[in-house]
Structure 1
């Protein structure tokens, strides 16, 4: 089992699978020193990959430079591609080290840098924290916490527009789930009752913070089976599992590229959900906003 410790580090057991991947990656390296570097780098990437997937993000390690034999031979690289966001660099830290070394090879084209301490037996890796700004050496005390790292990734995800055209090819961004995972069976049936020719449906939990107390909401997006020059889109807001009604005053808005609110609706007493139905052209961008009181959450979309 992996565990979250009191000081917000995250420990991952380095299984037989981790060492098998590391052995495969360090084959055919030009020197024992280079083979050791690749081996430790691979264990660090394995641990970060495990953690990122636990957070609900999709990774693409097999397509990262850290799995490319040519790149491994000529560069000190330990990258992990996070789908739709970019690359993280996963740097190993030895048991007694007080600094994290980041080689100049990887100072560009990275979302950030995660320090991973490997224990003496190489049976466990502990994620210590991260930095957005590379340097040859970064003292471990200067790292930002994993709590901030999670917020950082979520902000990166929200800053990128959701590419709805890719949904037609089955490519769905991390965090967008089948609505059966978010809503009660009754709410799922209610959502589908209004979908018409909709065939692609995904939802995402939205956080309006203190405005909602302990209640959680889900934003649901529905698309037709195939794209056309214009695409019919439905967006809905539902209470999540265990809750029956939306709180009154929840606003759902569609905003065009110029920042104008083109559609909006608001929940009343005892509303099960609210929705908006509209069409968008291919290449068009728009924003969906959910608000309650002074708090709002926005998500950009593109076709």
Structure 2
């Protein structure tokens, strides 16, 4: 098995929102050690929830024991419910530590244990890997990789729902070229003003579709259009241009981020809107059968779409 340093990891910024949630759940706890446990457990769950959402898995943190105020005072618990699959335990790992500890009270009713290591300032959490076996402690270099983790979750999903081997939110973009387009992806004439259309693509555009996305909460909410332009390149490969436009406005707010991740979750491309940008875009090529994710982020709000060519 490879050392954890040779494996893919995933880092999550611990924003003010993350610390506010941790503070909320740990406040009023008289015992300093218990208070720290709850604070770090909450940050670990926050990081894993963010990661799983990026990977296209639905979670239910509010329905987890780690959100129950009585349970977290009685038990050292950091669980996260993954919808249809079960509970993951998100175990915090302190900086400069080589061991992930798993308390006995969470050895039951878990589909796996994810190690989340913090930096000294608690500004970043790095998801290192996982184990499916309950044990008092595991060396970090014995953790299974995140690639194995995603495969493990997918196998659980297939085992539970063999009739649905593909995730329901997977967009089979390769079928667009054959004329099979999901109804949720509209022609862009239905989403955008004529003045916003007609941006360049290096090849002749074969098909273009878009989807309205709402980002932010309440007064801060904005609406954008995620547009995907697809063109056949060479045999077994397509060119893809993905763009984000404002809806109901002619400029994007500053700080809208567009990312492309590969199947393992590694960030491949990124662009962030500047002041007065009318749109942002990324262009890349993908092979038939290849999966990737398009992620649109604004502030603490994020939307992910999973595609297969």
Q: For 2:179, what is the secondary structure of its paired residue?
A: helix
- Within a 5 Å distance, the mapping from 1:240-279 to structure 2 comes to none
Contact 1:9–1:129 (CA under 8 A) maintained in structure 2: yes
- Structure 1 Cα separation of the partners of residues 149 and 172 of structure 2: 28
- Within a 5 Å distance, the mapping from 1:232-243 to structure 2 comes to none
Q: For 2:152, what is the secondary structure of its paired residue?
A: helix
Unpaired runs of 5+ residues, structure 1, are 165-172, 193-240, 248-303
2:180 corresponds to which of 172, 185, 188: 188
- Structure 2 Cα separation of the partners of residues 77 and 46 of structure 1: 13
- Within a 5 Å distance, the mapping from 1:1-303 to structure 2 comes to 7-161=7-161, 175-177=167-169, 183-184=175-176, 187-188=179-180
Q: Deviations over 1:45-83 (max 9, x none)?
A: 111111111111001111111111011110000001000
- Structure 2 Cα separation of the partners of residues 178 and 153 of structure 1: 15
- Structure 2 Cα separation of the partners of residues 175 and 75 of structure 1: 34
- Structure 2 Cα separation of the partners of residues 134 and 179 of structure 1: 35
Which structure has the larger Rg?
1
- Structure 1 Cα separation of the partners of residues 131 and 31 of structure 2: 30
CA shift, 1:96, in A, is 1.4
- Structure 1 Cα separation of the partners of residues 33 and 167 of structure 2: 40
Q: Deviations over 1:129-185 (max 9, x none)?
A: 111111111111111111111111111111112689xxxxxxxx9921276867428
CA shift, 1:31, in A, is 1.4
Figure out how many residues of one structure are paired with residues of the other and give that number.
Answer: 184
Q: CA RMSD in A?
A: 2.7
- Structure 2 Cα separation of the partners of residues 35 and 182 of structure 1: 50
TM-score, length-scaled by structure 1: 0.55
